[in-house]
Chains A and B, each alone.
Chain A
Amino acid sequence: MTATVGNPAPPAGAGETGRPAEAPRTRAIRVLLWSLRHWSVVVAGAILAVAVLWALVPGWFTHANPTAIGATDKLLPPSSAHWFGTDRLGRDQFTRVVYGARASLSGSVVAVLIGVTVGSVFGALAGWFGRWIDALVMRLIDVVLSIPGFLLAITIVVVLGYGIPQAAAAVGITSSAAFARLIRSEVLRAKTSQYVEAAVASGARSPTVLLRHVIPNSLGPTLSLVTIQFGVAIIWIASLSFLGLGAQPPSPEWGRLVADGRNFMASKPYLVVYPALTVAVVVLAGNHLARHFAERQKR
Chain B
Amino acid sequence: MSSHAAPRAARDATSPPGPVLAVDGLSVGYRTGHGTKTAVRNVSFELGPGQVLALVGESGSGKSTIGHAILGLLPVGGRVLSGAVRYQGRTISDLSGDRLRALRGRAISLIPQDPTVSLDPVRRVGPQVEDALRLHTSLDTEARRARVHELFELVGFHHVERRYRQFPHELSGGMRQRVLIAAAVAAEPDVIVADEPTSGLDATVQAQVLDLIDDLRRRSGTAVLLITHDLGVAADRSDLVGVLRDGRLAELAPTASFVRNPRDEYSRHLLDNVPSRLSFTRDRAGRAPSERPEEPAVEVTNLSKHYGGHTAVDDVSFTVPRGRTFSIVGESGSGKSTTARVLTGLTRPTAGQVSVLGTQLGALSTKAFRPLRRDVQIVFQNPYASFDPRFDVLSVVEEPLRSFQPAGSSRRHRRENRDRVAAALEAASLPASFLHRHPRELSGGQRQRVAIARALVLEPKVVVLDEPISALDVSVQAQILELLVTLQSELGLTYVFISHDLAVVRAISDRVAVMRRGRIVEQGDIAQVFERPASPYTAELLGAIAGRRLAHR
Cross-chain contact of B407 among A16, A198, A208 (Cβ < 8 A)? A208
Q: Return chain A residues, CB-CB under 8 Å to B373.
A: 201-203
A202 touches B385 (CB 8 A): no
Cross-chain contact of A202 among B390, B400, B446 (Cβ < 8 A)? B400
B389 touches A195 (CB 8 A): yes
Q: Does B482 contact A (CB under 8 A)?
A: yes
Best-buried of B387, B388, B402, B486 by chain A (most CB within 10 Å): B388
Q: Return chain A residues, CB-CB under 8 Å to B486.
A: 3-5
Q: Which of B223-281 contact A (CB under 8 A)?
A: 272, 278-280
Cross-chain contact of A217 among B278, B279, B390, B430 (Cβ < 8 A)? B390
B374 touches A198 (CB 8 A): no
Q: Which of A175-226 contact B (CB under 8 A)?
A: 193-195, 197-208, 212-213, 216-217
Q: Does B403 contact A (CB under 8 A)?
A: yes
Q: Which of A26-57 contact B (CB under 8 A)?
A: none
Q: How many angstroms between the C-alpha atoms of A202 and B388 in the bound complex? A: 13
Cross-chain contact of B441 among A1, A6, A16 (Cβ < 8 A)? A16
Number of A residues near B (Cβ < 8 Å) is: 32
A203 touches B370 (CB 8 A): yes
Q: Does A9 contact B (CB under 8 A)?
A: yes
Which of B117-125, B192-200, B320-328, B376-384 participates in binding chain A? B376-384
Q: How many angstroms between the C-alpha atoms of A195 and B447 in the bound complex? A: 13
Q: How many angstroms between the C-alpha atoms of A203 and B369 in the bound complex? A: 9
Q: Does A17 contact B (CB under 8 A)?
A: yes
CB 8 Å contact bits of B425-457 with A (1 = contact, 0 = none): 000011000000100011101100100001100
Q: Does A13 contact B (CB under 8 A)?
A: yes
- Using A5-B486, A8-B445 as known contacts, say yes or no to A205 and B403 having CB atoms under 8 A apart: yes
Q: How many angstroms between the C-alpha atoms of A17 and B442 in the bound complex? A: 11
Q: Does A12 contact B (CB under 8 A)?
A: yes
Q: How many angstroms between the C-alpha atoms of A203 and B370 in the bound complex? A: 6
Q: Return chain B residues, CB-CB under 8 Å to A5.
A: 429, 479, 482-483, 486
Q: How many angstroms between the C-alpha atoms of A193 and B384 in the bound complex? A: 11
Q: How many angstroms between the C-alpha atoms of A208 and B404 in the bound complex? A: 11
Cross-chain contact of A11 among B278, B283, B442 (Cβ < 8 A)? B442
Q: Return chain A residues, CB-CB under 8 Å to B443.
A: 8-9, 11-12
Q: Does A7 contact B (CB under 8 A)?
A: yes
Residue of B nearest to A4 (CB): B486
B385 touches A203 (CB 8 A): no
- Using A201-B377, A203-B403 as known contacts, say yes or no to A194 and B386 having CB atoms under 8 A apart: yes
Smallest CB–CB gap between B454 and chain A, Å? 6
Q: Return chain B residues, CB-CB under 8 Å to A197.
A: 346, 380, 386
Q: Return chain B residues, CB-CB under 8 Å to A212.
A: 388
- Using A17-B437, A201-B377, A203-B404 as known contacts, say yes or no to A7 and B387 having CB atoms under 8 A apart: no
B390 touches A194 (CB 8 A): no
Q: Return chain A residues, CB-CB under 8 Å to B344.
A: 201
Q: Return chain B residues, CB-CB under 8 Å to A199.
A: 388, 399, 403
Q: Return chain B residues, CB-CB under 8 Å to A11.
A: 441-443, 446
B403 touches A202 (CB 8 A): yes
Q: Does B366 contact A (CB under 8 A)?
A: yes
Residue of A nearest to B381 (CB): A194
Residue of A nearest to B507 (CB): A1
A217 touches B388 (CB 8 A): yes
- Using A6-B482, A11-B442, A201-B377 as known contacts, say yes or no to A208 and B403 having CB atoms under 8 A apart: yes
Residue of A nearest to B436 (CB): A17
A6 touches B374 (CB 8 A): no
A200 touches B388 (CB 8 A): no
A203 touches B374 (CB 8 A): yes
B378 touches A193 (CB 8 A): no
B346 touches A200 (CB 8 A): yes
Q: How many angstroms between the C-alpha atoms of A59 and B280 in the bound complex? A: 79
Q: Does B458 contact A (CB under 8 A)?
A: yes
Residue of B nearest to A198 (CB): B386
Q: How many angstroms between the C-alpha atoms of A195 and B383 in the bound complex? A: 9
Q: Return chain A residues, CB-CB under 8 Å to B402.
A: 204, 208
B446 touches A8 (CB 8 A): yes
Best-buried of B280, B385, B403, B483 by chain A (most CB within 10 Å): B403
Q: Return chain A residues, CB-CB under 8 Å to B429.
A: 5-8
- Using A11-B443, A11-B446, A200-B366 as known contacts, say yes or no to A213 and B388 having CB atoms under 8 A apart: yes
Q: How many angstroms between the C-alpha atoms of A34 and B446 in the bound complex? A: 35
Q: Return chain B residues, CB-CB under 8 Å to A7.
A: 429
Q: Return chain A residues, CB-CB under 8 Å to B455.
A: 202
Q: Return chain A residues, CB-CB under 8 Å to B389.
A: 195, 217
Q: How many angstroms between the C-alpha atoms of A246 and B430 in the bound complex? A: 62
Q: Return chain A residues, CB-CB under 8 Å to B278.
A: 1
Q: Return chain A residues, CB-CB under 8 Å to B482.
A: 1, 5-6
6 A-B pairs with the lowest CB-CB distances in the bound complex, closest first? A203-B373, A203-B403, A198-B386, A202-B400, A194-B385, A204-B403
Starting from the known contacts A5-B483, A203-B374, A212-B388, 14 additional A-B residue pairs (CB-CB under 8 Å) come to A5-B429, A5-B482, A8-B430, A9-B443, A11-B443, A13-B441, A16-B441, A193-B385, A194-B382, A195-B388, A202-B377, A203-B370, A204-B402, A217-B388
Q: Which A residues form the contact surface with B (CB < 8 A)? A: 1, 3-9, 11-13, 16-17, 193-195, 197-208, 212-213, 216-217
Q: List 14 A-B contacts (CB under 8 A).
A: A1-B280, A4-B486, A5-B479, A5-B486, A7-B429, A8-B445, A8-B479, A11-B441, A17-B437, A197-B386, A200-B346, A201-B345, A204-B402, A213-B388
